Amino acid sequence: MPPRQQVVRIARHPDGAPCAGDFVLDEDGLTRPADGELLLRVVYLSIDPYLRAMLGARYLTGRPPVGAVVPGSGLGTVVESRDPRFAVGDVVVGECGWREYTTVAAAGVRRIDPEQAPLSTALGVLGMPGLTAWSGLRFIARPKPGETVLVSTAAGAVGSLAGQLARRDGARPVGIAGGPDKCRLAVDEFGYAACVDYKAADFEAQLRAACPDGIDVYFDNVGGKVLEAALGILRPHARVVLCGLIEQYNAAQRPPGPNLGPVIGARATLTGHVVYDHFARFPEFLAEVAPALRRGEIRWREDVRRGLAAAPQAFADLMQGANDGKLLVRVDGDPFGGRAAG
Ligand SMILES: NC(=O)c1ccc[n+]([C@@H]2O[C@H](COP(=O)([O-])OP(=O)(O)OC[C@H]3O[C@@H](n4cnc5c(N)ncnc54)[C@H](OP(=O)(O)O)[C@@H]3O)[C@@H](O)[C@H]2O)c1
């Protein structure tokens, strides 16, 4: 083990869209694990939109101070274990932070089966974003065959699985994404029946054309004008999953709220969705989605950047839509070369 490691710290809290200069590469020592802890070598870091909400003091947990190592979940291999349930070489997902090595409480990590799928999927389609899509559909939206399910960020980590699961339920998934390339991807790769570009000047007209009978479910990952447009086409007793507000994460002030009049007319239900409420359901989620993924029935896409130093720009790209699937940073070599073990 080296005596020092590279880390990325918060240089300043972003003002508007984050940029690489909001972060700084630095060095730190390694903390040896105490009883009940593990020392991990970080292999992949997950780059997630909630970090922007965190840095803007709008997240469930507090705002990390300037100078702190950037928080974030990751996947690592155990290099030293002080917990009898874990051995050197085990693969786990936990709160790693943007660093090469991390010391974590064994009680707070999730063990990964490397034979199930490529390791990186444990942070994406088979990880927190996948669980978000699955639990939002299964326990809030509950789509029925023939219903129309509208999903925003349709080509992203959460949205790409939400659409595929809705289709597997016999519903008609319609996506919303930024730009023609992502819309094409949503249809061709992720099985959306149609996908509408929210950046197009005639977005609302295109949305109505793609959903001529209105929508039964809206899985909202963006908020703002896209949410307002979706509320305007709700069918009676529609269900809206309020999952993300990425359209306003970069704003200093919360923008004026949407006009909720159509919710009354549609007798619709709006439900806030927080994936942490469903973490105990990981085994149930994996039992359904992992076999389908292995059979090739579920598709996923990852945008893997190389090296810890790439993390700041990766995050800036995520918040501009310049990611091509689940955004990950590969900090160290994947011990299985990006394939499932065995
Ligand atoms: N509630 C929960 O528990 C929970 C858990 C996980 C994620 N989420 C939320 O789910 C959403 C998607 O997260 P993800 O991890 O799957 O990320 P992602 O979709 O893979 O990547 C983020 C995408 O957001 C879109 N975006 C960025 N700025 C935008 C803007 N101003 N307006 C509209 N869209 C914008 C971009 O797609 P386009 O190029 O298509 O614009 C970008 O690619 C986020 O809002 C996130 O906070 C919520």
Question: Does ligand 1 have an atom closer than 6 angstroms to the CB of 175?
Answer: no
- The whole-number pLDDT of residue 256 equals 82
Q: Could you tell me the end-to-end alpha-carbon distance of the chain, in angstroms, rounded to an integer? A: 27
- The whole-number pLDDT of residue 104 equals 98
C-alpha 54/C-alpha 71 separation (Å) is 9
C-alpha 45/C-alpha 7 separation (Å) is 12
Atom of ligand 1 nearest to the CA of 53: 47
- 14 touches 23 (CB < 8 A): no
Classify 30 as helix, strand or coil.
coil
C-alpha 87/C-alpha 340 separation (Å) is 19
Reported as a single tens digit per residue, the pLDDT across 311-323 is 999 999 999 999 9
- Name the residue with the closest Cα to ligand 1, atom 43: 321
- 53 touches 72 (CB < 8 A): no
Atom of ligand 1 nearest to the CA of 273: 1
Indicate the top mutation candidate among 246, 273, 304, 320 to test ligand 1's pocket, ranked by most ligand atoms within 8 A of CB: 246
Question: Does ligand 1 have an atom closer than 6 angstroms to the CB of 176?
Answer: no
- The whole-number pLDDT of residue 178 equals 98
Question: Does ligand 1 have an atom closer than 6 angstroms to the CB of 143?
Answer: no
Atom of ligand 1 nearest to the CA of 275: 3
CATH number attached to the domain at 4-124+300-330: 3.90.180.10
Q: By C-alpha distance, which of 3, 11, 4 is closest to 311?
A: 11
Indicate the top mutation candidate among 51, 54, 135, 158 to test ligand 1's pocket, ranked by most ligand atoms within 8 A of CB: 158
- The whole-number pLDDT of residue 303 equals 98
Classify 205 as helix, strand or coil.
helix
Say how many Å lie between the CA of residue 51 and the centre of ligand 1: 11
- 43 touches 120 (CB < 8 A): no
For helices 282-294 and 128-135, the axis angle rounded to 10 degrees is 100
Tokens linked to 210: 């793609």
Say how many Å lie between the CA of residue 60 and the centre of ligand 1: 17
Q: What's the CATH architecture for 143-276?
A: 3-Layer(aba) Sandwich (3.40)
- The whole-number pLDDT of residue 255 equals 84
**β-bridge mates for residue 177, sequence order:** 197
Q: Which residues of the chain have pLDDT under 50?
A: none
Tokens linked to 202: 């005639």
Classify 287 as helix, strand or coil.
helix
Name residues whose C-beta falls within 8 Å of residue 202's C-beta, 6 or more positions apart in sequence: none
DSSP string, 274-318: -GGGGGGGHHHHHHHHHHHHHTT-S---EEEEESGGGHHHHHHHH
Q: Structural domain boundaries of the chain?
A: 4-124+300-330, 143-276
Q: By C-alpha distance, which of 225, 222, 229, 279 is closest to 52?
A: 222
- Mean residue pLDDT across the chain: 96
Q: Is 59 exposed, middle or buried (0-12, 13-18, 19+ CB in 10 A)?
A: middle
- 308 touches 99 (CB < 8 A): yes
Q: Is 94 exposed, middle or buried (0-12, 13-18, 19+ CB in 10 A)?
A: buried
- The whole-number pLDDT of residue 59 equals 86
Neighbours of 263 (CB within 10 A): 16
Question: Does ligand 1 have an atom closer than 6 angstroms to the CB of 318?
Answer: yes
Query: What's phi and psi for 102, nearest 5 deg?
Result: -150, 150
Tokens linked to 208: 């109505």
Q: Do domains 4-124+300-330 and 143-276 have the same CATH topology?
A: no
- The whole-number pLDDT of residue 3 equals 84
